[in-house]
Amino acid sequence: SRRLPDGRYALRIGPPLPNFPSGDDVRDASAVNRAIEIGVREAPGQYLWGHRRFRTRPRGEPQFYRARRDRNLRRYSRALLLVSLPAIGYTLWQAWRQRDPAYLRERLGFGPWPGGPFDHWFHAASVGEVNAVAPLIERLRERWPDARVLLTVNTPSGRRTAERRFGEAIAIGYLPIDWLFAVRRFLNRIQPRNSLVVETELWPNLYLEAHYRGAPVSLVNARLSPRSTRAPVWIQRILGRTLESVHTILARSAEDAERYRQFAFPAEHLEVVGNLKFAQSETAAATPFEADRPYVLAASTRPGEERRLATLWQRLASEALLIIVPRHPKRLKTILADLADSGLPVAVRSRGEPVTDRTRIYVADTFGELPAFIAGSRFVIMGGSLEPFGGQNILEAARAGKAVIFGPYMDNFADEARLFVERNAGRQVKDDAALAEAVSDLLVHPELAEAMGREGRALMDEMAGMADRYLDRLCERLPRFRPAPPSGSRSTDSASPPR
């Protein structure tokens, strides 16, 4: 067709292409392109190309066109808008409570974040994820000391943990809320060559923007809960759309990998590597907390569990002290109300109350002291597993050589729980009666607790190379994972990792 001066169009219908289709795709495509070229040459000024011809780029390379936001992403943006005011309010409250203005600025998307470009950007939601990825970052920096590394977190406690682990060796900041303007400002500032997210943090706007900039996100120690595959259909569609922007998934277990496959993630870019939390850092052992008598530690307890533990302790004839380290110390008022029903004398660490001969329960509602309490305990009861919260990480107890008891709700740590039971490094109990029996057994026979602790420590030693395993897989799968050599220097990409 050709536009005429009076605004009308002249349509010319030519003869059919000879021997078309021929069965040869290349020949047929060339014939079509020649026919288009002939038409364009008749009126070049009227030619308009509307086809996104280069929309399919090599995996991990920058895209030529702006990201298209389909119905699933638009629906996500509307849902995000609905929770924006509560999110802003919570961020303001947390920033005031923690006296942390950087938390307010960076989470709301105003920065300034550490300036890029960075060879590697890692994101770890909070304390547990920071501790999991720390050995990987340390091994990476041993291989490439000059690599620029950024670690972002979501919480002030996560940042404090990162600062204690790394000091000024790497840059540390907060990830902004997943608003589009905030994500774009963040990525413009940090300019990552590689983007790596620990475990399960799926942010559609962030992942899509990183993908189009040629720094697509890869998931390390990736896990996906069974609830994700049972979520409402519209949420599953958003998750599936988010995963389309992911470059590589290195899963911690076969079960997690299978859940990602249910969202149609390509099998050739998905691999089971193992649980990164088994990796060990070269850090000094925690100084054990010392009480006036032996104690049992209930670690990372969640709502409802303190009351059950107090009832158990009321019935036990043991002189041992019970120390409770809650997952969220801000629940202290509720915890004390639950413990009051037992009638047992309670002391609270944040109030400076001492442990006396009469004290039966000590509530350690502080941050950063859990390793010390684990190190000094007879054995550990893991919270989050007695009530349906999915469990907590039991590896830290094993690393310290401590036996661990956990309840039936270990959905988020099912592989670790199964392995601990198989190796007799831990005991899983199904109810309060079984819990009382296990606690009494280990108190009466401390040699059993010591043997379980040795098994746990041996298991951790066997898995000590997990960080190197992840690092090797990332080098194999991500073309730009090795840092670019400084200008004028020889590349060290082929350097073998130190062992």
Measured CA to CA, the distance from residue 2 to residue 464 in angstroms comes to: 71
Annotated catalytic residue: which of 37, 61, 106, 129?
A: 129
Measured CA to CA, the distance from residue 239 to residue 218 in angstroms comes to: 15
Strand order in the sheet with 195-198: 171-174, 149-153, 120-123, 195-198, 217-222, 249-251, 270-272
From the number of C-beta atoms within 10 Å of its C-beta (0-12, 13-18, 19+), residue 170 rates as buried
117 sits in the region (left: phi over 0; alpha: psi -120 to 50; else beta) called beta
Residue position matching structure tokens 């840092």: 483
H helix intervals, 108-203: 127-143, 156-166, 180-190
Q: Is 138 among the residues known to form the active site?
A: no
CA end-to-end distance (rounded Å), the chain:
69
H or E segment to which residue 80 belongs: helix 71-82
The alpha carbon of 300 is separated from its chain's Cα centroid by a whole number of angstroms, namely 18
Q: Give yes or no for a contact between 400 and 371, defined as CB atoms under 8 angstroms apart.
A: yes
3-state secondary structure (DSSP) of residue 444: helix
DSSP code, position 151: E
Strand order in the sheet with 426-428: 346-348, 361-363, 321-326, 295-301, 380-382, 404-406, 426-428
DSSP code, position 371: H
Measured CA to CA, the distance from residue 324 to residue 364 in angstroms comes to: 6
The alpha carbon of 463 is separated from its chain's Cα centroid by a whole number of angstroms, namely 20
**Amino acid letter, residue 172:** I
CA–CA distances in Å: residue 121 to residues 45, 110, 199:
46, 19, 15
Any bridge partners for residue 220, and if so which?
198, 250
Active site members: 129
